[in-house]
Amino acid sequence: MKISIGNDHAGPEYKKAIVAMLEAKGHQITNYGTDTIEAVDYADFAHPVAQDVEEGKADFGIVICGSGNGIAMTVNKHQKVRAALCWMKEIAALARLHNDANVISIPARYTSIPQAVEMVETFLTTEFEGGRHQNRVNKIACQ
């Protein structure tokens, strides 16, 4: 699987742990995030992830910032992106099951690293249910 990841200064350690898990599972990772805790603008790292998902260069995206909100808002500006802000594995599963989310947004200041790794694993291994949810998903993007 091809996965793009981006993070601001709140997420370098989260990204490092997530990437290690994903690479151990044989996934191909494109890293757009910063590796330092020096203050940066999350949008600079969000747009490349969203573009990869939108253009089919990545199967999924992972974005990380302090609250998870700003970076989620940014990637959701892209028409083909359905980013879900997740703070527990059950939310990550529902984001895939019911919303066919293709980007997970992680709030680094409100989750632990092991929790974030578990959420990503759940997100990537949960299939979209389709059925009654497909019609709702079809209405998400602006026309």
What are the tens digits of pLDDT across the range 26-43? 999 999 999 999 999 999
Instruction: Return the bridge partners of 85, or none.
Output: 105
> Given this model, what pLDDT does residue 142 score?
85
What are the tens digits of pLDDT across the range 52-108? 999 999 999 999 999 999 999 999 999 999 999 999 999 999 999 999 999 999 999
Q: Is 42 helix (H, G, I), strand (E, B) or coil?
A: coil
CA distances from 14 to 92, 97, 114, 126, 135 (A): 16, 24, 9, 21, 34
> Given this model, what pLDDT does residue 141 score?
86
Tell me which of 27, 78, 86, 98 is the catalytic residue: 98
Tell me which of 9, 27, 47, 65 is the catalytic residue: 65
> Given this model, what pLDDT does residue 56 score?
98
Q: Is 65 a catalytic residue?
A: yes
Q: Is 86 a catalytic residue?
A: no
DSSP state, 110?
Answer: T
What are the tens digits of pLDDT across the range 111-143? 999 999 999 999 999 999 999 999 999 999 887
